[in-house]
Each structure stands twice: as structure tokens, then as C-alpha cells.
Chain A
């Protein structure tokens, strides 16, 4: 049997991306009457716990630019971002009618309030606001988080109708460790040879992991990485950039492609942080909930939705991302009306100024259609990088 090409894998991932009825998840569930599906919103939930319950964690990242929002707009004022309205649209239009539970992680006031709206709109479906600590001492935030995870496990046990053992969770941690390693390998490949694994392709491949069972997704990642390394693709005279601010409402795929067309190699980003939130492997023996809490507290990504207790550390993740990938600049791309990203932006920009890293900023929505201004802005940015860095 021949290995699939990057084009074949990307086409498969794009089908999953465009399928707003979540057919693959529906079919996964239909294959066995005991199976359950738990949806989750950005930024992070411990998917290992859901997996250990024998359930499919399903990432819900809004409706993108292909969903016509008819009902969702009636729930939100014009000055609120788009992801909650398209998520409601997915719900009230029946596209999530097979989902057995929904998780709303602690990210901002809008998603927090959406958790309550979900309870009102879908009272028969389990829904939970998934609170996480913003204080990172083991005996304080750690204890709180362990207890929150245990409460969540207890809820999952009720839905599953069975106990979830530590062994099962440890086995799931191992599966997700492997998946994270592969995601990181893809990021490293893209940073080193972005022409071999363009951001728009990597985006689709990683995003497939939000709807596929993790084992299948790891296989897809392995195949894509191997195929991307093997294929010969032309090197363009692009500039390497890091994109930040897209951690919740996702950009339209065309936006990522437009950045590439305007001369950017996107070598790092904060799309779908759940895929690489935990940094490094989580131990697979001992108390798994403790280990997940330790990973969250001490070995997890930085983003605007998290409190940074150390002023000296503020924004340094971005400087490190630039240095590590050899990027020449940063693009702040934030969703309109996104409090965390937009409030964080001036602080991050000050850090970049101090580090002498050029940047630009623009806003978008998941259904932005007009890419020309973004293309022009990004193109000018790349030109200026080339001009001034050479001088």
C-alpha cells in the first residue's frame, strides 16, 4: 500500500474542516451504542480524561466562514465576537444534536456566559464551565484544579455509566503524549522548512485532530510529516513570521493562505492551543490527575487567557518563539472584540519593542471575507522587514 501524499491528506483534513455537521464524529458514535461525544471550546481542556472514559473529545471552534448564522445573531449584540453566535447556531440548528456534553473552558467572559446560555438552551445536555486555576502554586491552584478535575471525572463516570480508573487515564495520557510529540514535530518541521509544510496545510492537519479520534489523528500526523519531508517543493523568498492572537475564534483558512501569498512563512502560531497546551510528556505512571495538574501549572503554554504572575516573564513566550523559529517579525491577528487578545496586545507589543522585533496588528472575524487589506498590510510588513533588516 502506498503512503498518502500531502495533497491527499490535506484534502481529507479539509473535508473534515468544512463539514459543519461533524459527520466523522457522528459515524464514530454510531459505530457503538455505548459511545459518547463531549464537545469543548477553546482554549484547553484535559482531553485525556474524556478519552479515558471511552468518549470522543470534539473540538468546537465556531462556524468559520462557511456557516450562515441565522439564529445566533439574535443572541448577541453587534459588539460581541463571532464564535459564540456561530456556536449557538451550530447548537440550535441541530448540528450538535449528537453531542452528549459540552465544556466551556475559562477563557473570557463571553465564553463563560455562553456556558450558562447553553444550560438554558439545551437543558437536557450535560454542560460544564471548566474552571482552571490562575494561580500556580501546587498547594493552592494545584489542589483546586485537582478537585475540579475529579469533579469532572465524576460527571464523566455518570455519563459513561462506569468507573474511570487511573490505569485508563494513564493510558490516555500516553496516547496524547504521542499526539503532542507529533504536533510539535510538525511545528518544528514547519519552522525549519516552511516551504515543505505550509501553515495553511499544517493548520488543516492539526485541526483534524479536533474531530478525529486521537489515534487516527496521530497516524495522519505521522503520514503528513513523512510526506512533507519527502516531497520537493519550491522555496519562496518569504519572511518568517510568528502569528499570535488567534487562540480562540479561528481565522478563515483564506486568511492563513493570504498571509502566505503576501510573502509570509508562518512559523509559529497560537491556533488550536489545545493540541500543544501541555509542554513535554506528562508522566504515565502514578496519580494521573496530579500529573495533569502539574503539567497545567508548570509546563503549559502562555496565552492572553492566562494570568502571568511574573512581570519579567510577561510576553517572553513570544520573544522565545521568534528566537527559536528564526522569525523576523510578529503579526498580531486578533478577533474583533476579543478582550483577552486586545487587552494583552499593548503589553506584548512593548515587550517586542524592547526586544527589537518588528510587528504589525490587524483584526479579523471567523467569517472575514475581504482579504485584500490584510494581504496588503502583511505584504508591506514583509517588504519592510526585508528592506530594513538588510540595511
Chain B
């Protein structure tokens, strides 16, 4: 029988029940991970974009995501010390702070968010999708853990299309490298029907995820698709895609969202239900995690809600129609990896952001440019100009970092946001006057 983790019910709580449920799921996963060796389970480390959770589950491996560990360290205000530890060991101040947080955490004993030691991985599944840093990150981890490393290269969608050569290349890698090595590491024979079963479950949860993300089209939006979105994507981008837990969670979340829509309510913030929706924004780029709540507060205090974001597409662009397809199990995994947001060309990213502004009737675009993430950041100034030009909506640019607290200047960010909201107001009143 499947264990139930459902404790919070939408009707029972004043705050966002789905967030509580999501936290419980994540906590359960971390316990599963830290107890893995004790329970005889092997661990595969891998990345969020290009996460092949269904395949990992086929080999009874527990999924460990170093990016998520870094986020957890950021949210818990531990990443700053980890980063400095890595820098003292010779890692450059210029490079990705996820990597340095992960390495610093490793150097400090690899204690997970539940206070227990994270296990050493038995295999590094280097799914190289949309981020060059991944490649070096797992070379760095391989040096430490000395465990098998499987490389899965995802070609970049530079010309805005997936070609047969790309899919064939990935399927061949899956068949001839990834699956045989996972069989060897885990001792479990690959069963394609088991994969199909997980993929079918993924698709079910993906349907609900898309419904939830697209609920931002309502006025007021019942969700915050950036700050709240981080919670929403957690299970499906992490260790739960392909599970019954994910199906339950997204169904639960959908019901919660439906209730808010029916009541004409906005999202629930850390300080309670959000007040009047004054600004509807599309946000490009990852958030800052070290001052996550302070950052979010700068938005909801001003009545700004994020109705769509690109960050919630780094683990899959389901709102553009992609669903995992159990009838084409390996091809669908390839197409999933190819389609993630950061594997899309700059023109595709611009198209997507313009679509969001138009379809979600947003007031403008805000770019949170991350110092240590070139995959996202390189080209964002052109993105900003192009989106402004095409949509006629104002755009703004702020700079922070993922998990390095040294690069979050609250006063500067707040100033810029306040100026931006004034600009949106002026644009609106100008339009009103012209009409």
C-alpha cells in the first residue's frame, strides 16, 4: 500500500496547505536519501534540467539533486559559509555558486537539511542539459567520490527545433551508455514496462501542473508563479516525477487553486493571503534563495504578483504541450531534455516571454539576472529590449545571485523594484490619458 503523506487539507488551514504538503514530501525525500545506505538503497546524483527520475526509479535508485541541496542551504542561510569554504580551497569567486555551495557543504561533512549526513552517490548521472557548468560540476564531484559517472549529452536547440539527429543521438546514449551503466551500478535489470508505467504517471501530474501554472491567467491570479512557483515545481522537477505522490500533490494543489479562483482570491504569501493585485508581472531568471522571503515581500507589499515565469520551466516546458509519452519511452526522455527552458535558443526564450506577457495580460517583464548563472544571464539584456519592443510593456532588470548572500543587496533591489512599479503605473496612466 502506498504510504500517505497527506496531512494538510485545503479546508483545514488558513495558509497555503499545498506548501505544507510539499514541505512534507521534501522532508520525506531527504529522510529517504539520508537513510538510503542504512536501508540498502543506492543513490544517483543528477540535475534538475534533464532529470530522468522515471529512469532512475527503474533501478531502485534514490535521486539526489545537488542543485536542490544548494537551494536548501541557501534558504537555511548556510550557503554563504559553504561558498567561502570552497573559495578557500581554490574555487574561483567568478563561478557558479550552486557548485561552490555543494562543494563547501561536502567539505563540511555534507549535512543535509534534515540534519543528517547525505550519502555519497553510487553514480553520477551527468545529464548535460542547457548548462555547461553541469559538465564541470560532476567532473569535480567525480574527483571526490570516485564513483561511476554517466554522461548524457543533450544537444542545444539552437535553431528552434528538435532534429531527428538530436533525438537519435540521445536515444543511443540512453540505450548504449546510460541504461547499461545504471543496470551495472544498481544490479537491477532494466524493465521498459516499468519505465512506461512511471512515464504515464508523470504525464498525469504534468496535466495538473500545467493547469496550475496557467491559472495565472485569471484575474486576480490565484498563484504567484515565481515565488509560489518554486514550491509548485519542487516535486515534479525533483524526486517525485513519475510517482503517485506527485499525482496526488498536483491534484491537491489544483483543487486548492480552484478554490481560490472560485473565491476570487490571490496567492497565499508568507505573511498570509495577498491583498489587491496591483501589478501582474512575468519574471525571467532564477530567484535569489538566501533572502527569498525578503525578496518575495518586496513584491507582495506592493501588490505585485508574478503570473508567469521562465524559471518554472527549467525542469520542463509542459505548458508548451510536452508530456512524457509512455508509448515512446526513450524518445520521450530525449525530447523532455531537449525542451527544457535553458536548452532553448535565445529567440525561443524571447518568444516564450512575449507569449507570457500577452497571454497572461501582464504589465511587464522583470529580469532577475543571476551573477553566477551564465546559462540564464548571458543575453538577458537583449531579451529585455526585444520583449519591450515587441510587447510595448515596460521591462526592468535587477541583479542578484542564487545562493551567494554577498550578491543580494536588499536596498538596491527594493529601490529598483519600486522604480519599476512606478514606471508601470506611469505607463498605465499614460495609456489611460491617451485613451
Contacts and interface: CB of A to CB of B under 8 A. Distances in A.
Contacts of B258: none
Interface string B338-361: 000000011111100000000000
Contact of A109 (B133, B149, B165, B382): B133
Contacts of A116: 158, 345-349, 379
A144 B155 contact: yes
A77 B90 contact: no
Contacts of A115: 158, 345-346
B377 interface: yes
Contacts of B89: 346
B377 A134 contact: no
A329 B380 CA distance: 40
Q: Quick one: which of A77, A151, A363 has the most chain B CB within 10 A?
A: A77
A29 interface: no
B189 interface: no
B173 A140 contact: yes
Q: Quick one: which of A116, A342, A347, A349 has the most chain B CB within 10 A?
A: A116
Contacts of A139: 172, 176
A360 interface: no
Contacts of B136: 304, 339-340, 343-344
B177 A135 contact: yes
How extensive is the interface on chain A, given as a class?
A: 35 or more
A22 interface: no
A76 B169 contact: no
B34 to A, nearest CB: 26
Given A79-B371, A113-B378, A143-B169, A307 B142 contact: no
B79 interface: no
Interface string B156-187: 10110001011011001100110000000000
A333 B155 CA distance: 29
A131 interface: yes
A307 B135 contact: yes
A120 B131 CA distance: 21
Interface stretch (A53-61, A277-285, A308-316, A379-387): A308-316
A350 interface: yes
B64 interface: no
Contacts of A338: 94
Given A79-B94, A314-B139, A340-B136, A120 B151 contact: no
A11 interface: no
B5 interface: no
B85 to A, nearest CB: 13
Contact of A343 (B99, B349, B386): B99
Interface in A125-178: 128-129, 131, 133-135, 137, 139-141, 143-144, 147-148, 151
Given A76-B378, A339-B96, A134 B128 contact: yes
A120 B350 contact: yes
Contacts of B165: 144, 147-148, 151
Q: Please name the 7 residue pairs, one residue from A and one from B, whose CB atoms are nearest each other, closest first.
A: A116-B346, A129-B158, A343-B136, A144-B169, A342-B92, A113-B379, A109-B375
Given A342-B91, A346-B90, 15 more contacts: A75-B381, A109-B131, A109-B375, A110-B378, A112-B132, A113-B346, A120-B350, A139-B176, A140-B169, A141-B153, A143-B172, A307-B151, A308-B139, A314-B143, A343-B136
23 contacts: A79-B94, A80-B377, A108-B132, A109-B131, A109-B133, A109-B374, A109-B378, A112-B158, A115-B346, A116-B158, A117-B346, A117-B382, A119-B346, A120-B346, A120-B347, A128-B158, A134-B151, A139-B176, A311-B142, A337-B94, A340-B136, A344-B136, A346-B91
